[in-house]
Copies of this chain bind each other. A is one copy, B any other.
Amino acid sequence: MGFVTLKDVAKVAGVSYATVSRALSGSPEIGESTRKRVVRICEEMGYTPNSVARSMVMKRTNIIGLIVTSIDNPFMSEMTAHLEIYARQCGYNLMVCNSSYNLDLEKEVFSLLMGRKVDGIIMIPVGSESHETLKTFTAQVPTVFIGENMIDLPENYVSVDNATGMQQATEYLYSLGHRRILYLGARDNSMTHQLRLDGYLNACKKHGIEPSIIRNTSARSSFQIGYALAKQHFEQPFSETAILCAADTLAIGVIQAAYEKGIRIPDDLSLMGFDNISFSALPPIDLTTVNQPKQELAVSAMDMLLNRIRKPDAPHTKTILSPSLVIRNSCRAIED
């Protein structure tokens, strides 16, 4: 690493290296003429400040740790894109880690990021147990959870109103005439999933329809899981006219299973998802779903984190954004 340092510049400019530092940091206590000269010499010599050394003395790195369960999940990669761009605008870089849906790994990378002295952490947690396994950590470094509700927990989070979103989804199907709606993919290890299920159950109760649920006992919502659950369901005759999925990824798996069985969507079966990942908009998929405003989530989370970095002892905060129905062509009206 033979790079140019402040000292080198100082030597050439014939000033002390404190002066060079001041010239670059835009300090007011320096003569305009020296500043200009020093800045020019810095450029000529190709000097770039060493962020590591700066972090050392400033006691902040301007790095945000981002922990996601899996970066190649479309919802998360979209969130990451928004986060990275906004974070950079705010003067921060992102250090990204996959927890791979594993609580131990999640803890490990969290601790790793702490050792790297990131100024804060934004994370999509593995599930509701994450709070428990991470609480000694989240008490030590500003942390914001994103996309996941941490209700009644001493954590900061930004998410959508999942219950209301799923209730609206259910009622949309109801309004189309559906009375037998299967809810597919409820996961036990996630408060968010619990809330979505609640939304569905509320709507059922309100309209006097019988709930019917297929649970997802795995820790993740993937195409494969959606496919497997639907495939099993389709093996026996079923009476539901619509399937409401806990996530778009699951719904896309359902499409696959339906396709193999010759079940046409929406002709034979209506289908809805949740999240509105970009692929759901593609015509061969064309999935009616509930949108999570990803950019707003990202911006809110970053702003919230910045606030906490400034005031680490402020009380915990949450931001709940509104989801919205996105009507495409995977549902049809039916007559009784």
Q: Tell me, yes or no, whether A88 is within 8 Å of chain B by CB.
A: yes
Which A62-109 residues have a C-beta within 8 angstroms of B? 63, 70-72, 74, 77-78, 80-81, 84-85, 88, 93-98, 100, 109
Q: Tell me, yes or no, whether A18 is within 8 Å of chain B by CB.
A: no
Q: Tell me, yes or no, whether A314 is within 8 Å of chain B by CB.
A: no
Q: Tell me, yes or no, whether A117 is within 8 Å of chain B by CB.
A: yes
Chain B residue with Cβ nearest A112: B93
Q: Is the CB of B74 within 8 A of A74?
A: yes
Across the interface, which residues of B come within 8 angstroms of A234, CB to CB?
A: none
Tell which of A49, A60, A88, A255 has the most Cβ of chain B within 10 Å: A88
Tell which of A97, A98, A252, A284 has the most Cβ of chain B within 10 Å: A284
Which A259-285 residues have a C-beta within 8 angstroms of B? 259-260, 278-279, 282-285
Interface residue from B56, B95, B252 paired with A93 (Cβ < 8 Å):
B95
Q: Tell me, yes or no, whether A111 is within 8 Å of chain B by CB.
A: yes
Q: Is the CB of B115 within 8 A of A1?
A: no
Across the interface, which residues of B come within 8 angstroms of A112, CB to CB?
A: 93
Complex Cα gap A117–B116 (Å)? 14
Task: Determine how close the nearest CB of chain B comes to the CB of A75; give it in whole angstroms.
Answer: 10
Q: Is the CB of A1 within 8 A of B117?
A: yes
Q: Is the CB of A94 within 8 A of B95?
A: yes
Task: Determine how close the nearest CB of chain B comes to the CB of A250; give it in whole angstroms.
Answer: 13
Chain B residue with Cβ nearest A97: B84
Give the number of chain A interface residues (Cβ < 8 Å).
Answer: 53
Q: Tell me, yes or no, whether A51 is within 8 Å of chain B by CB.
A: yes
Complex Cα gap A63–B63 (Å)? 12
Q: Tell me, yes or no, whether A241 is within 8 Å of chain B by CB.
A: no
Chain B residue with Cβ nearest A79: B72
Task: Determine how close the nearest CB of chain B comes to the CB of A112; give it in whole angstroms.
Answer: 7
- A residues near B (Cβ < 8 Å) are 1, 3, 48-53, 55-56, 59-61, 63, 70-72, 74, 77-78, 80-81, 84-85, 88, 93-98, 100, 109, 111-117, 140, 223, 252, 255-256, 259-260, 278-279, 282-285
| Given A223-B278, A256-B284, 20 other A-B residues pairs in contact with their CB atoms under 8 A | A1-B59, A3-B140, A48-B115, A50-B117, A51-B115, A52-B52, A56-B56, A70-B81, A71-B84, A72-B78, A72-B81, A80-B96, A88-B97, A93-B95, A93-B112, A93-B113, A95-B95, A95-B96, A256-B283, A259-B284
Can you report 18 residue pairs joining A to B where beta carbons are below 8 Å apart?
Answer: A1-B117, A48-B111, A50-B115, A52-B56, A63-B95, A71-B77, A71-B80, A77-B77, A81-B98, A84-B97, A93-B113, A94-B96, A223-B282, A255-B282, A259-B284, A260-B283, A282-B285, A284-B285
